Amino acid sequence: MTRIVLLENIHPSASEVFRVAGESEIITHSSALSRDALLEAVSDATILGIRSRTHVDLAVLQAAKSLRAIGCFCIGTNQVDVDEALLRGIPVFNAPFSNTRSVAELVLGEAILLLRRIPEKNARVHQGFWDKTAEGAFEARGKTLGIIGYGNIGSQVGTLAEAAGMRVVFHDVEAKLPLGNARPAGSLKKLLNQSDVVTLHVPGGSSTKNIIDAKALSVMKPGSILINASRGTVVDIDALHEALKADHLSGAALDVFPAEPKGRDEPLDSPLRGMQNVILTPHIGGSTQESQENIGREVAEKLVQFARAGATKGSVNFPEISYRPPAGSARILHTHKNVPGALGSLSNVMASHGLNIVSQHLQTMGQIGYVISDVEGEVGAAVMDDLKAQPFTVRCDRV
């Protein structure tokens, strides 16, 4: 029996996909769990679904004795020890594209609000003041948007910005084909120096940590705006605070932070709180009903295809094998150490039990190999025990 555990209020569309696939044991939680509760919840889980607050580290993986797959119902997978999961034969799936539009719309909306000084004007009217003036307020049309990280979200932001009449330049560590009239800036410094609005769409990690620091902020165009809806570690918050206090930047919008609260009752600790020219949002870039429904459906469908057929297409940490209809009376999924002779030995074991291999597909990733074998014959406990006992075996399942 497949036991599916979904945490952090994952959209009901995921449960719907599982139920349509014939799964009935679906346990849902409306929030992230405490450490002890998480370890207990995963102890008998076959499939685990999480969002960004749940961290799946070595201890969690050790506690999850029956775990076969992890679904990250979000873009990132930084919250999962994907390398350790690979070594245990556990593929990790995510939804890299489903909330692209939601994030892009938020970024463009924040750019327009900050160009018009709406956050501070809104606050002043709430305080009873009627500051009706055009001073410091600008149209988006004709302004330059600089996009750092021209991937799926960054390029979508550029497309929307061009529709609003903005000029778009971008910088990426990889060569990217521009969409519309967007152009590469040539370097990060050149982008910062010419942009009226700078928006970040880069992954986390050591290579991007504090790429917007005091030095980078100092070369930004005076009066420009900074938006970060990517990862909290890419901006030096203290340096940004100083640049805003000195009026070098006219505004900023942040949806992500270096350290984020674990729940609604925990306040955000940031020097940017209270600044009227700063928009702070609680990591909601992809939090629209449309995107969450799409994410729920996309990740659940990947998990179902793996659980029912062993397909790993779209996994972030595992050898990828696309879905193929079963071709025999049984299908065996075998994850093994990528060593010479493993596949031959695996085939010999199956042959010794009278199994005829009808179809076989192998892919490797680093030190791990993954093979799907469709066979004719009786696949009983003795066969599975023999396959699991092989010295190169990491894990073996039948679907």
**Phi and psi for 356 in degrees, rounded to 5?**
-100, 125
Cα of 8 vs its chain's centroid, Å: 15
Q: What is the DSSP letter of 56?
A: B
Token pair belonging to 8: 């952090």
Beta-bridge mates of residue 135: none
Question: Which helix (DSSP H) or strand (DSSP E) does residue 13 occupy?
Answer: helix 12-20
Residue 386: HSE in the Cβ half-sphere, 13 Å Cα cutoff: 16
Nearest to 250 by CA among 110, 95, 76, 93: 110
Instruction: Say which residues have a Cβ less than 8 Å from residue 191's Cβ, sequence separation at least 6.
Output: 146, 148, 169, 170, 171, 185, 198
Task: With beta carbons less than 8 A apart as the criterion, state whether 110 and 279 touch.
Answer: yes
Token pair belonging to 187: 């370097």
Going through the chain in order, the beta strands assigned E by DSSP cover: 4-6, 26-28, 47-50, 69-72, 92-93, 144-148, 167-171, 183-184, 197-200, 224-228, 249-254, 278-280, 330-337, 356-365, 368-376, 393-398
Q: How many Å is the Cα radius of gyration of the chain?
A: 25
Q: What is the DSSP letter of 221?
A: P
**Phi and psi for 103 in degrees, rounded to 5?**
-65, -45
Measure the CA–CA gap between 150 and 158, rounded to whole angstroms. Answer: 9
Measure the CA–CA gap between 145 and 182, rounded to whole angstroms. Answer: 10
Measure the CA–CA gap between 5 and 44, rounded to whole angstroms. Answer: 9
List residues with catalytic annotation. 231, 260, 283
Q: Is the dihedral of CA 296, 43, 37, 281 positive or negative?
A: negative
CA geometry: angle at 166 spanning 162 and 167, to 5°?
95
Instruction: Say which residues have a Cβ less than 8 Å from residue 344's Cβ, sequence separation at least 6.
Output: none
